[in-house]
Amino acid sequence: MSDSSTFHEQPINTTSLPDISRAQSAALYETALHYFPGGVNSPVRAFKSVFGTPLFIKKGDGCTVWDADGNQFVDFCCSWGPLILGHNNPVVKQHVLQAIDSGMSFGAPTELENDLASLILSNNKKIEKLRFVSSGTEAVMSAIRLARGYTKRDKILKFDGCYHGHVDSLLVKAGSGLVTFGETSSAGVPKGFADETIVIPLNDKEAVKAAFDQFPGQIAAVIIEGIPANNGLLIQTKEYIQFLREVTKTNQSLLIFDEVITGFRLGFEGAAAYYDVNPDIITYGKIIGGGMPVGAYGASAEIMGHVSPEGSVYQAGTLSGNPVAMAAGIGQLSQLLQPGFYKKLNAKAASFVECIQEFANNRGYKFKVFTAGSMFWFAFTDQNIQAAAEIDASSMTYFKVMHRELLNRGVYLGPSGYEIGFISDAHTAADLDKAKKAIFDSLDIVFLKDYA
């Protein structure tokens, strides 16, 4: 890895580069507007929070993606996290090709389901049984239903700023009080659904206690992202997470860890091991399928025994355990189990982040990089942030400019200042050096031209 001191004393550069050509992407976007709402199949892809039209990606290999105009980028989005080995990993690809030779979907059990489940469960002490589904949203939806069926209670407690997919009862925001029923944050979510969801601030023990006091014997589960990472990277203390474990046990509620982002990313046992806690139910996302459409939820054998056909909590899926996704998962997770994999990846990420933070500190910029494992978040602040309300919305003006400058320098981040970035095993020292130089130049432009 390069000596980070190379980047500390570089001259100040306030020269914006010309915008890259997006002619082909723009044309594809215009066509897409005729087919899809907003021209996209997921809202954040629409580039509404940054400059320009969406980039249409044509190819990915290693840590690099190419758009329809031939522009090349060092990618820190990594398909929103699951590509921990990078794009087009040869081992994952070979597993997929072998599976396709035998067929792509059967709607019946295959040996590959057993193989991937064994790989996960024999190396993850936090769960005893699991159920494969087709997405992280579906995993969370199923976990909520299981918690309600198991406890015979209806209410769910979630935290403001935590996103758990587009599940009706969780697509809610906080109301005006400390402990409030959720208010729907999407049209089409019935008020009755939101009324079964209690929303409180993160990092506030008194709010948790007040919720259990206000609704005694009614809360089926508390759900929290392993590390909240959909609205900034809101790293909670170990003491607070242990408190959630204790208070849920005391009130005979379940603790659900949504590890769609953190699972197998922070380590093979995810945030549960990071915080040394044993949640009652854990959900996982696309990382267990090498980025293919897949998810899972798991728990103790006793809790999972309540899932149909063994128990009365119904959940099904024609494509659950899809053989191609299972094969991709085996190819990916087997590599994550190689000795020293996470130590090496996390050390690479730590060096990258430390260099950027030191540069910003030396320049006196009001800029902070939050990081956990191989995840990072750029925030235009000098304060610690652990709750959604602590994020200054006006600071997103800085990110908007930074995003444009980074694209023009060949670095791709997710198109929102609230989204986090990911480093993969495929990022080389040279790739990270290129990205650091682009980030330094972009920060100089943002702060010294005072765009905010």
CATH number at residue 11: 3.90.1150.10
189 and 294 belong to one structural domain: yes
Give the pLDDT confidence of 334-377 residue by residue, as tens digits.
999 999 999 999 999 999 999 999 999 999 999 999 999 999 99
In a domain, 329, yes or no: no
218 and 82 belong to one structural domain: no
* pLDDT score for 353: 98
> CB under 8 Å to 336, separation ≥6 — which residues?
84, 85, 264, 268, 342
* pLDDT score for 340: 98
In a domain, 330, yes or no: no
Q: Residue 169: is its pLDDT beyond 90?
A: no
CA distance readout (Å), 208 to 164, 170, 255, 410: 19, 17, 13, 44
Q: Residue 185: is its pLDDT beyond 70?
A: no
154 and 205 belong to one structural domain: yes
In a domain, 95, yes or no: no
283 and 350 belong to one structural domain: no
- Of 321, 351, 373, the domain-final residue: 321
* pLDDT score for 451: 55
317 and 370 belong to one structural domain: no
Range of the domain at 270: 106-321
Query: Strands 57-61 and 64-67: what pairing?
Result: antiparallel
Q: Which of 126, 155, 158, 286 is catalytic?
A: 286
149 and 238 belong to one structural domain: yes
Q: Is 286 a catalytic residue?
A: yes
300 and 170 belong to one structural domain: yes
> CB under 8 Å to 120, separation ≥6 — which residues?
127, 130, 288, 296, 298, 333
Domain count, the chain: 2
Q: Residue 94: is its pLDDT beyond 80?
A: yes
Which CATH number is 287's domain given? Answer: 3.40.640.10
Q: Residue 177: is its pLDDT beyond 50?
A: no
Q: Which of 67, 160, 168, 258 is catalytic?
A: 258
Contact status, residue 21 vs residue 69, Cβ threshold 8 Å = yes
Q: What is the DSSP code (8-state) at residue 229?
A: -
Give the pLDDT confidence of 39-64 residue by residue, as tens digits.
999 988 999 999 999 999 999 999 99
**Residue indicated by tokens 């910003």:** 360
In a domain, 434, yes or no: yes
* pLDDT score for 195: 79
Percent of the chain with pLDDT over 70: 93
Q: Is 348 a catalytic residue?
A: no
Cα angle 399-401-407, degrees, rounded to a multiple of 5: 95
174 and 306 belong to one structural domain: yes
Q: Is 163 a catalytic residue?
A: yes
119 and 201 belong to one structural domain: yes
* pLDDT-wise least confident of 60-64, 76-80, 193-197, 399-403: 193-197
CA distance readout (Å), 176 to 137, 183, 340: 27, 10, 47
Q: Residue 4: is its pLDDT beyond 60?
A: no
Q: Which of 29, 163, 274, 365 is catalytic?
A: 163
**This prediction's pTM:** 0.94
CA distance readout (Å), 314 to 294, 306, 310: 19, 9, 10
Give the pLDDT confidence of 200-250 residue by residue, as tens digits.
999 999 999 999 999 999 999 999 999 999 999 999 999 999 999 999 999
- Of 287, 321, 355, the domain-final residue: 321
In a domain, 369, yes or no: yes
In a domain, 262, yes or no: yes
